[in-house]
Structure 1
Amino acid sequence: MWTLRSWQGRFLPHPLPAHERLRAYAGWCTAVEGNTTFYATPARETVASWARQTAPDFRFVAKLPKVVTHERRLSGADEELRAFLHAIEPLGPRLHALWIQLPGSFGPGDVPALTGFLRRLPTDHRYAVEVRHPAFFTDARVVRTLEEALGTVGAEWVPFDTTAFFRTPPTSDAEREAWSRKPRTPLRTRALTDRPIVRYLGRDDPARTVEGWQPWLEQVTGWLREGRSPTFFLHTPDNADAPELARRFHDAVRARLPELAALPEPPPVGPLTLF
């Protein structure tokens, strides 16, 4: 995510070697979704480079490879899972959670498979599960069943809030593409652990993104007051303004909770001058 072309020269210095871009991104935000790990397990040395570019308290939420979650559906992928866990080991304390994103076809009848999979996982990691089947949001009995399964290993349920995005029709090419691909799931705000993780999708119009996140300001502030340590990931269809918007969200929470630590001051993007 930190290599997005539209950020270069705006949020990240340009030109900048690929192995320095994460360091620059970490000057804007203190967490990142490891979405690229869904498509391929990175080389261990690549992951070691990520660790070198970030502080020990930087948060990676790394997505399990799709061969494990989507192709094998949590069964018969032990070798691929071991290879992935070995590859990400250099992150050390930066690995905030392993993110198990399940396909929309993974429904209530598959919960036993998820339970068995979670119980086989190493206990030295935290886990966060994202489901997309409608029944997990509309059937109270199914919700309880999933929450109980996650609770057996202390795993979190990751909501992907797309309610603001789908409130009105798309107005840009990026929004139209997202309109056809993103899940339409009801809003969920219940946290199961002391480390809730939220994924929020706004609009390409920053004002509408800010309008849509208003309910999360009080929710996140409340979690912090309870002693929880939430991670809030902000997306827009084109993600062009995402780092700046993420900082605006943090500032808005901090206005309600002044004792919350400030984000790091971003390094200058352009060359330093005397005037």
Structure 2
Amino acid sequence: MGCAMWTHKAWPGHALPPGERLRWYASCCNAVEGNTTFYATPARRTVQTWAEQTGPDFRFVVKLPKPITHERRLSGAEEELRVFLDAVEPLGPRNHALWLQLPGSFGPNDVGDLAAFLRRLPGTFRYAVEVRHRAFFEDPREVRQLEQVLAAAGAEWVPFDTVAFFDTPPTSDAERDAWLKKPRMPRRSAALTDQPIVRYLGRDDSARTVAGWAHWVDVVAGWLREGRSPTVFVHTPDNAEAPELARRFHGEVRARVPELATLPDPVEPARDDEPLTLF
């Protein structure tokens, strides 16, 4: 379970020094989306600090940089890819999957480029692909074609479920902003591997977020009973309550699957007049 980030001004961990915020987050959730790598490849030493703040079972789903996926569209980006793979290597077993988020213009005619790119990737990492072209959700032939390409590479298809978000008009500034930026795609619930990944976008109203994820509670519980090991990321437009919501989702799934391990107990950040003790 996790969120789209590990620090937010509304979260208690934001009061900590920047180098300790991930450690606090890892006391609440055991997975995180690595979205910042889309905009810039971090220094290898920076990634090493991420590893040092998390346990070996913590899951990072790290996004490939924009120059590879959006600017070069998976072709001719060998150097950018080499630098990125070297940078994230210190995460070791925490590298749950490297995430290719493709632009909405990347459609069925581009699947050959995706297949060629996946064949060139080293087998030392797992891969997950998010597509945003409607044909991959509405045309059964294109769905099958993409599934075959991903299955051949052992890669997962990452759904970004925005159905509940777009169910009714926005009611806050954050929702209005997301309304213009987030993709409107049909919901996809099929897993291709034993480690599916789900991204779910709710609303800034927590009650509506919880009501909207009922489908995923059922699906994730079913995957667990099948022996799969899913990772779920809970988003809201402002993400102010995302860690608490992620933990609540986990609790609802655990009510269905009691053998699911509990999440850690969140650590309370120390006050300014107290020594910092996180573990």
Give the TM-score range, shorter chain: over 0.9
Q: Which amino acid aligns with 1:5?
A: K
Q: Give the structure 1 partner of residue 8 of structure 2.
A: 4
RMSD: 1.1
Partner of 1:235: 235
Residue 257 of structure 1 corresponds to which residue in structure 2?
257
Q: What residue ranges of structure 1 are gaps of 5+ in the alignment?
A: none
2:98–2:127 CA contact under 8 A, matched in 1: yes
Q: Percent identity among equivalent residues?
A: 71
Task: Give the match for residue 175 of structure 1.
Answer: 175
How far residue 3 of structure 1 moved from its aligned partner, in angstroms, is: 2.3
Residue in 1 that maps onto 2:72: 72
Matches within 5 A, 1:102-141: 102-141=102-141
Contact 1:127–1:154 (8 Å) recurs in 2: yes
1:34-183 correspondence to structure 2 within 5 Å: 34-183=34-183
Larger RCO (CA under 8 A, 6+ residues apart): 2
Provide the secondary structure at the position in 2 that maps to 1:199: strand
CA contact (8 A) 1:57 1:93 kept: yes
| Contact 2:202–2:234 under 8 Å retained in 1 | yes
Matched positions, count: 269
Residues 14-68 of structure 1, C-alpha deviation per residue, up to 9 Å, x if partnerless? 2x11111000000000000000000000000000000000000000000000000
Please report how far the alpha carbon of residue 270 of structure 1 lies from its aligned counterpart in structure 2 after TM superposition.
Answer: 5.1
Cα distance in 1 between the residues matched to 2:232 and 2:148? 24
1:133-180 deviation digits (Å, cap 9, x = unpaired): 000000000000000000111000000000000000000000000000
Counterpart code for 1:237? P
Q: Secondary structure at the match of 1:75?
A: coil
1:73 deviates by: 0.1
Matched AA of 1:69: T
Q: 1:225 to 1:17 in 2, by over 3 A?
A: same
Contiguous gaps of at least 5 residues in structure 2: 275-279
Q: Could you tell me how far 1:13 is from its partner in structure 2?
A: 6.0
Distance 1:219 1:133 in 2: 23
- 2:277 maps to none
Q: TM-score, normalised by structure 1?
A: 0.96
How does 1:14-25 map onto structure 2 within 5 Å? 14=15, 16-25=16-25
Alignment check: 8 A CA contact 1:159 1:187 kept: yes
TM value normalised by structure 2: 0.95
2: CA distance between counterparts of 1:3 and 1:250?
20
Measure how far apart 1:6 and its partner are. 1.7
| Residue deviations 1:172-207 (CA, integer Å, cap 9, x gap) | 000000000000000000000000000000000000
Runs ≥4 in structure 1, deviation > 6 angstroms? none
Between the aligned partners of 2:227 and 2:27, the Cα distance in structure 1 is 25
Instruction: Show the counterpart of 1:197.
Output: 197
State the distance in 2 between where 1:13 and 1:77 align: 35
Residue type of the alignment partner of 2:260 = L
> 2:97, 2:126 within 8 Å by CA — same for their partners in 1?
yes
Letter matched to residue 35 of structure 1: N
Retained in 2: the 8 A contact 1:13–1:270? Answer: no
Task: Give the superposition deviation at 1:2.
Answer: 1.5
